[in-house]
């Protein structure tokens, strides 16, 4: 069986000994960029390698990009191979935020490189601990494989493309969307015409994804094929993409540069308020 969106802690535990599975720990904190890797070294799901959001899952920042531009696809493919991921490897990504931070980003990036065998651990690190499953602090030596480049399963959109015919969904919190606060970027507000669906609304009180039918009600007003997602820097918007795929709403796209790229050009319009 291939897991393409979410996987439970119980199912992952049953496959931990499978040699063609690879678990990737993506824990990360924007305010403390080293905290996730430190936490991984202290305790992690057995056999998991660590992916750093800024070092491994993002590219080089320049004056035209957002805060987390997409990595070079060749460099990313090499890194996946170094982690022991080949063309038939089932990848499971997790973090400590229900997949809200870098786990969903890794899920999207792998699909960008044509890899369909990738899923996010539903409930993340907390669900693993709550289930009483094993942890350790051993640093794995997975052995490198060749990660093949295949036709992309998903393609990003750029700032020019989203101006034309796309229904935009902003994954940031409501106060940031309305422009009332902006703790990270130099300009507050949102892209005109966007709707606000904070990624946190995809999860229940335990940090697991809501049922597919509930997510369909949340996102299904507009066809997925004409929906584009963004956030502050192209990371948490992947959570909304994952939620839609899990709900059977396939085909939405990612504006990878997101708000932090959009505001690099002062000619691009900015809206505030709830509309």
Q: With the CA atoms of 31, 187, 182 and 257 taken in that order, what torsion angle do they form, in degrees rounded to the nearest 10?
A: -50
166, 252 contact by CB (below 8 A)? no
207, 121 contact by CB (below 8 A)? no
Could you confirm whether 26 is annotated as catalytic?
no
User: Across-strand partners of 196?
Assistant: 170
Could you tell me the CA-to-CA distances from 77 to 73, 112, 145, 185, 190 in Å, in that order? 6, 10, 10, 30, 33
Quote the radius of gyration of the chain (alpha carbons, Å).
18
69, 60 contact by CB (below 8 A)? yes
Find the catalytic residue in 7, 77, 120, 231: 231
190, 184 contact by CB (below 8 A)? no
Could you give the CA distance from residue 36 to residue 236 in angstroms, rounded to a whole number? Answer: 16
- List Cβ neighbours of 139 (8 Å cut-off, separation of 6 or more): 41
By annotation, the residues acting in catalysis are 231
């Amino acid at each position: 069986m291939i897991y393409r969106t979410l996987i439970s802690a119980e199912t992952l535990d049953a496959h931990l000994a499978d040699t063609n599975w690879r678990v990737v720990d993506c824990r990360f904190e924007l305010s403390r960029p080293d905290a996730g890797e430190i936490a991984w070294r202290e305790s992690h799901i057995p056999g998991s390698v660590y992916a750093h959001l800024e070092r491994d899952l993002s590219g080089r920042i320049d004056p035209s990009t957002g805060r987390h531009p997409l990595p070079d696809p060749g460099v990313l493919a090499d890194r996946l191979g170094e982690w022991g991921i080949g063309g038939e490897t089932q990848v499971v990504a997790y973090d400590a935020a229900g997949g809200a931070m870098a786990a969903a980003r890794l899920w999207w990036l792998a699909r960008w490189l044509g890899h369909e065998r990738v899923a996010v651990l539903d409930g993340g690190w907390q669900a693993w601990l709550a289930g009483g499953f094993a942890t350790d602090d051993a640093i794995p030596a997975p052995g490198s494989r060749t990660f093949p480049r295949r036709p992309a399963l998903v393609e990003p959109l750029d700032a020019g493309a989203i101006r034309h015919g796309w229904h935009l969904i902003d994954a940031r919190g409501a106060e940031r969307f309305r422009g009332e606060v902006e703790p990270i970027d130099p300009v507050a507000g949102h892209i005109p015409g966007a709707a606000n669906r904070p990624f946190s609304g995809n999860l229940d009180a335990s940090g697991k994804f809501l049922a597919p039918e509930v997510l369909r009600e949340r996102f299904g007003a507009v066809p997925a094929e004409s929906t584009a997602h963004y956030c502050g820097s192209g990371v948490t918007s992947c959570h909304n993409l994952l939620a839609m795929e899990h709900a059977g709403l396939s085909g939405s796209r990612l504006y990878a540069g997101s708000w932090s790229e959009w505001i690099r050009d002062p000619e691009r319009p900015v809206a505030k308020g709830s509309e």
